[in-house]
Amino acid sequence: MRLFLGSLFLFLGLHLNAQEYQTGISAHDPVMARQGDTFYLFCTGWGIDVWSSRDMKSWKKEAAVFSTPPQWAVKDIPYFKGHIWAPDIFFSNNRYYLYYSVSAFGKNTSAIGVATNKTLDPSSPDFKWVDQGKVIQSVPGKTNWNAIDPNVIKDQTGRAWMVFGSFWDGIKLLKLDKDLVHSAKDIAGIPTIASRKKDPAAPNPPSVDGNPADAGGNAIEAPFLFKKGGYYYLFASIDYCCKGEKSTYKMIVGRSKSIRGPYVDYDQVPMAKGGGTLLLKGDKNWYGTGHNAVCHFNDTDYLIFHGYDARDKGHAKLRIEKLDWIKGWPVVSSQ
């Protein structure tokens, strides 16, 4: 009887543990980091969704980063209730910096905040997310850009930069202070490094497909910078996300030898003037693909992004693909 009960408890324990892990998980705007032998995924969600995995295939849902909404965001962003967008994870100064977006959908009433933690391991006694507050904010009528979709990278000198933006004036590049939680210059003069407009001085095209008119039709967002060899590669998503079966999201890329740009595509067209080489778009299985990160693990580069699943009513799902490089340009291995 004891042997039977012991075997039963072992079976139940393994069964319950297996139930904790899922494949084909729902995810939007994913970014990934690895600590030790565990991968951690951060996504748009209430308080910021967090998942962990040992193999990047089976995922366990972890507690959200924020159990209650950051109070500065509740105060500064009308109607914000705690649904946080498009996080970015960055390791520096022996700690993790988690940048995140708060916004009113379709408006540039938006801000980027940051929280820090000594570890990503929830079982560690040092595990505690500490909110550091607001990094930058956009205001309708005052800034012709949208303070969401942050990504942070350091250049070859060790200086930290934040790339961000969605619609309006396109993708912006901001120098950060050494503490990584404040901007290092007047936000009035930050440059646009990518746009869908061929003429940067031209007004934004009109909004299409039922999108909020305030945003205009400059459909570019979700920038991500990745250093490879002698180039900085700027990835971005164009066209429309968040529409399920009607999503038309796709990813483009350009490169520059300077982090400041100009970023140009394969045909040498500047991304600031409508350029961008197509990296991945939807197909019969995915209505759209976009909002990517690029990660380097075990001598392999990975494209981390979400796609709108044609087999599941257009729900957003996590996708991970290996990146190859051909003549200095990224190519998705499965394509």
Which residues are catalytically annotated? 29, 221
The CA distance from 201 to 273, in Å, is 10
Q: Find the helix or strand (DSSP H, E) in which 188 lies.
A: none
Strand 160-164's sheet: what is its strand order? 151-154, 160-164, 171-175, 192-194
C-alpha 136/C-alpha 18 separation (Å) is: 42
Distance CA 335, CA 329 (A): 14
Cβ density class 218-247: b for 16+ within 10 Å, e for less = bbbbbbbbbebeebbbbbbbbbbbbbeeeb
Nearest by Cα to 29 from 313, 242, 288, 292: 292
